[in-house]
Chain A
Amino acid sequence: MKTQEYTPLFDESEMQTVKMHISKYPKPMAAVMPLLWMIQEKYGWISIDAMRYVGDLLSIPHDHVLGVATFYSMYFKKPVGKFHLQICTNVSCMLCDGYKIFNHISDKLGVKNKGITPDGLFSIEEVECLGSCATAPMLQINNKEFHENLTIEKTDELLAKLRNSN
């Protein structure tokens, strides 16, 4: 099935993790989601070549991996900023001025939804409910930390902190 040779995207120790993930399920195909997560953790986003690589590791068709990667919204199919800000604007956040926070960040960074700043530091995305409704409005950074109970001041502080940490 291998049509092309690629430089391996995982090193020895990561291959052990890959084997661990495959062993969790009765069929190797099921490991496609954890493997895509590993690629994204390491490289920040998932390229078409990386999808082919995952397909070869699991001996499943490349287009199946493409299908999975494009179905789920948390896999980034193109590069995002170093700090990818995911701002919730769903009902509970909207009721607590979630759009105000979104527009403030968008104006301040000068980028629109799914845009990325020219220096590659920030990108923003309007996302659906993240299950943080009691602490709205909120945002998530790089699919990880939640920042809850936001105000304009807190948002400014957060942006400054992120900029300085770079």
Chain B
Amino acid sequence: MEKIILKDIPDLDKIDVYISNGGYSALKKVLTGMKPDEVIAEVKNSGLRGRGGACFSTGMKWSFMPKGNEKPKFLCCNGDESEPGSFKDREIFEKNPHQFIEGSLIAAYAMGIQAVYVYIRGEYWKWINIMEECVADAYKKGLIGKNILGSDFSVEMYVHKGAGAYICGEESSLMNSLEGKRGYPRVKPPFPAAVGVWGNPTTINNIETLANVPEIINKGSEWFSKIGDPKHPGTLLYGVSGHVNKPGVYELPTGTPLMTIINDYCGGIKDGKDFKMIIPGGSSMPPLTKEESLTMKMDAESLKAVGSAIGTAGIMVMDEDTDIVHVLQRITKFYYHESCGQCTPCREGCGWMLKVLDRIMDGTGRHSDLDLLISVAENIEGNTICALGDAAAWPVKWTVRKFRKEFESKIKNENIELPVLNKVHGLRKSDEYVTIDTDENTLVESLIGKVQEITVDENLKRYSS
């Protein structure tokens, strides 16, 4: 399989090596022979969809930008990559940074952009340094700056360092962060193409999306649209982690069967074990059971059909001995920590779900907790400004549904403490409590009956002694 981004060429991160391997020829091609509209049409025809998780058509997104030059326009490249389980952009920064730079310059030309901001998460200290060097190299070669390659197209490019906030990967939050504010997501509409960063038209694209663009220009949209699944063409950088023998980033066409990735590329499950659960696209995506995974193809449409999503293609594999409840507790802890606190359902709901999961882990969970978790999750989903609420709710909702037995096994034989009614004062509670052992299928009505029974017994005992 031919690779589009992670090519097997040594030292491709050096600008001279990149140029001698045909680098920046796509930029030359668009600057000398293509109109901006033709570039957008070419990307649209290729069927390239965003690689950040939403899978929106890239060409379509570019076409939303206003045509005139009344206001300056900006392009933000989203390298915030904080989704647990994804580590693909880092691979691009390290192995093929100039292809991404070239892609963003082509995007800038197509949309008439004045400045490109590359937003990279602050933890990627090493890769920020690499990118700053690469941008400086490209400036020296006259590939960024004024009158690029002798044309009348000029654009500036800056690297912006984040400071550790997952929420800044959300596009409107990224814009606020770039403006020097807290990373609070904005209400949409207005969409960034109308009112974006500093109130100007803005497009936000994922790093991997932009890295695909030069090859589409060089080899044509038809070539690209034939790779992988027709509805979601191209290759994906699958980041596999967890219980596999050879974890890492693998570039493969969309629609590759999940089992092929795990068995043929990652060398199967560690210690020859079986697997129990797979998260297909970063921690916020609904998990897959073993049965679903066996026949699953990794593309947007196939995963959508089972209620999951491709996300960032960060595959997390869990073997048969994994404690699913613990995994979900850790995922929820992450969203509780990263919720920006703007919307009540997300801010309070994440903490609530975490408390419930904590007590299930402690062994003091209740049977009603499982339905409570689903109910809280469903009340977060769709009721927040940005998608972090959904991202926190989906794993809880679907893990509890698909792996309910795992949760129930932690709360079997619970003891319920019910108050004994005070005989003298009618319904007022006395300070006595009775503890009742219950099993899975105990109904509330039968519990009430039990309490009354015990209460009567207790009273009899009290008077007879």
Contact = CB atoms under 8 A, between A and B. Distances in A.
Interface of A: 24-27, 29-34, 36-37, 58, 60, 64, 67-68, 71-75, 89-92, 94-96, 128-136, 140, 143-146
A71 B183 contact: yes
B283 A91 contact: yes
A135 B316 CA distance: 13
Given A74-B123, A130-B123, A144-B125, A68 B180 contact: yes
Interface in B135-181: 158, 160-166, 177-181
A131 B239 CA distance: 10
B85 interface: yes
A27 B182 CA distance: 15
Contacts of B109: none
Contacts of A140: 123
Given A36-B163, A37-B163, A91 B81 contact: no
B297 interface: no
B351 interface: no
Contact of A26 (B72, B82, B182): B72
Contact of B82 (A67, A129, A135): A129
A133 B180 contact: no
A156 B327 CA distance: 27
Size bracket of the B interface: 35 or more
A71 B165 contact: yes
B331 A133 contact: no
A94 B330 contact: yes
B124 interface: yes
Given A37-B163, A128-B337, A133-B85, 20 more contacts: A29-B181, A31-B180, A33-B161, A33-B177, A60-B180, A67-B182, A72-B122, A91-B242, A91-B283, A91-B330, A92-B242, A94-B327, A128-B166, A129-B283, A131-B123, A133-B247, A133-B314, A143-B125, A145-B125, A146-B126
B296 to A, nearest CB: 19
Contact of A91 (B72, B177, B331): B331
A91 B183 contact: no
Contacts of A131: 81-82, 86-87, 89-90, 121, 123-124
A91 B327 contact: yes
Q: Which 9 A-B pairs have the closest CB atoms?
A: A74-B164, A72-B163, A133-B241, A129-B84, A134-B247, A92-B241, A32-B180, A29-B180, A71-B182
28 contacts: A25-B158, A29-B180, A31-B180, A33-B162, A37-B122, A68-B181, A68-B182, A72-B163, A75-B164, A89-B330, A91-B84, A91-B85, A91-B316, A91-B327, A92-B84, A95-B243, A95-B322, A128-B338, A129-B82, A129-B83, A129-B84, A131-B121, A131-B123, A133-B247, A143-B122, A143-B123, A144-B126, A146-B126
A134 B241 contact: yes
A75 B314 CA distance: 28
B241 A136 contact: yes
A31 B158 CA distance: 12
Contacts of A90: 84, 283, 330, 334
A133 B181 CA distance: 30
A158 B126 CA distance: 19
Contact of A73 (B84, B163, B243): B163
Interface in B226-279: 239-243, 247-249, 279
B163 A29 contact: no
Contacts of B123: 74, 130-131, 140, 143
B79 to A, nearest CB: 10
Nearest to A128: B334
B303 interface: no
B56 interface: no
Nearest to A146: B126
Contacts of B388: none
